[in-house]
Amino acid sequence: MKRALVRVVILAIVYAETHLAFAADKLDLSTIITKSDAEAILGERVNDPKVSNKRDADGYDSSFQYYTEKMDKSLLFDVSHFAPEKMTAKQRFSVLGSAENKLEPIQGIGEKAAFIERGSGSDITHTTILYVLKGNAIVTVGMAGITDPNAALEQEKTIASKILARL
C-alpha cells in the first residue's frame, strides 16, 4: 500500500513537470495580444502578424510581430523557454546585460526585467525593448517607431504582464 502511494505521488510529480514543460507549446500569443489590441497600441491599422514557433535543442520559442500598414511602426512579442540542460533562462538573461550595456533594470515585473532604447526619432529604426525573466522563460516585448520611450515602456510592461499571467 505504501509503495503504491509513493508510485502515485512520483507519477503525479512527473506528470505535473512534463505538463508545465510543454505548456509553452500551447501558449497562443495571438489570444493575448490580438490584431485589434496591436492597432490600439500602435495607433494605426496593422497587417496580419508575422508568426514564428520553433522548438530546437535549446528549447521553445514563440513570437509575433505586427507592422503598421505604412511599415513605420511595429510591435513584437516573444516567449522563449530554455532547455535547462543547455542554458537556463537566468543564464541567458545575464548574457543580455553583457551584449547590451545600455540595459536599464526595471522593477516590479517578473523576477528580473531590463529595458533598452536604440536609435532616435520616430522612424522604424527607433526601438525600445523590454526583457522579462520568469522561471525558465524570457518574455521580450519590443516596439519600433514610437517617439516617447516612457510611453513605450509602459505599453511593453502591460503586454509583458498579460503574457506572464499565462505562463
* CATH code for the domain in which residue 69 is found: 3.40.1000.70
Domain presence at residue 149: yes
- Percent residues over pLDDT 90 in the chain: 51
Q: What is the mean pLDDT of residues 132-154?
A: 94
Mean pLDDT of the chain: 81
Does the structure show a pLDDT above 50 at 17?
no
| DSSP three-state, residue 158 | helix
Domain presence at residue 14: no
| DSSP three-state, residue 151 | helix
Please write the tens of the pLDDT for every residue from 78-100: 999 988 887 889 988 988 866 55
Domain presence at residue 19: no
Domain that holds residue 59: 28-166
Does the structure show a pLDDT above 80 at 111?
yes
Query: Nearest 5 degrees, angle CA 77-CA 96-CA 158?
Result: 35
| DSSP three-state, residue 90 | helix
Domain presence at residue 15: no
Domain presence at residue 17: no
- Which pLDDT band, with edges at 50, 70 and 90, does 150 fall under? very high
Please write the tens of the pLDDT for every residue from 45-81: 999 999 888 888 888 899 999 999 999 999 999 999 9
Contact indicator for 89, 83 with CB cutoff of 8 Å: no
In whole angstroms, what is the distance from residue 51 CA to residue 76 CA?
A: 10
Contact indicator for 145, 126 with CB cutoff of 8 Å: yes
- Say which residue, 131 or 167, is predicted with more confidence: 131
Contact indicator for 65, 75 with CB cutoff of 8 Å: yes
* pLDDT score for 122: 66
Domain presence at residue 20: no
Domains held by the chain: number: 1
Q: What is the mean pLDDT of residues 17-25?
A: 41
Domain presence at residue 83: yes
Domain presence at residue 87: yes
DSSP state string for 12-66: HHHHHHHHHHTGGGG--GGGTS-HHHHHHHHTS-BPPPEEEEEEETTEEEEEEEE
- Say which residue, 24 or 14, is predicted with more confidence: 24
